[in-house]
Amino acid sequence: MWIGSAGAASGLAAIAPALVVIVVGCTRETEPPAPTGLVEAAARGDARQVADLLDRGADVDARDASGRTAVTAAVYAGSAQTVRVLVDAGANVNLQDDSRANAFLALGETGNVSVLDEVLRGDPDVRFTNRFGGTALIPAAHRGHVEMAARFSRGPRSTSTTSTTRAGRRCSRP
């Protein structure tokens, strides 16, 4: 144990280079790898990488650590093109994450009408509710997404601009 300040300073000076190496080495080893997964690519709105990952066998309904799917991440990113790629590949727009969000419910938060048209192609179950017990209409109205709220209140089936739907895949409510 160093008692005097001169002793402490000289002792610290002697081990400082080793401490720097240890700290720098630990920092580099614990940095997370660059995101390469499907959900991460979708969250960036990177439709090309999403398509490439799907072509290489990625699970279209894979989830991140919070249970979020790529299609929900793409909705939050506001990328209609990425949502289109995922829906065309069979993404289940009804799967809810740990916070009970899914692709359709996320639309109420984002208000992105061009993304709505793509999610509707995935045949969403509009009866799903978020963690607060509300449908997508409530956050849309609360956030002032007037066009989105108007389309929700008319019913999503009547507002779709496309007739293409993904047949058969449904998710049961939790």
Q: What is the mean pLDDT of residues 25-43?
A: 61
> Phi first, then psi: what are they for 123, rounded to 5°?
60, 60
Tokens 């956030």 sit on residue: 143
The number of distinct structural domains making up the chain is: 1
pLDDT per position as a tens digit, 110-149: 989 999 999 999 999 988 998 999 888 888 888 888 888 8
pTM of structure: 0.68
Q: Inform me whether the pLDDT recorded for 172 exceeds 50.
A: no
Residue 3 lies in a domain: no
SS3 41: helix
Residue 78 lies in a domain: yes
Q: What is the CATH number of the domain that holds 62?
A: 1.25.40.20
Residue 174 lies in a domain: no
Cα-based distances in Å from 85 to 52, 57, 124, 128, 173? 10, 14, 16, 23, 25
Q: Inform me whether the pLDDT recorded for 24 exceeds 50.
A: no
Cα-based distances in Å from 152 to 39, 41, 49, 138? 26, 28, 31, 10
Q: Inform me whether the pLDDT recorded for 65 exceeds 90.
A: yes
Residue 18 lies in a domain: no
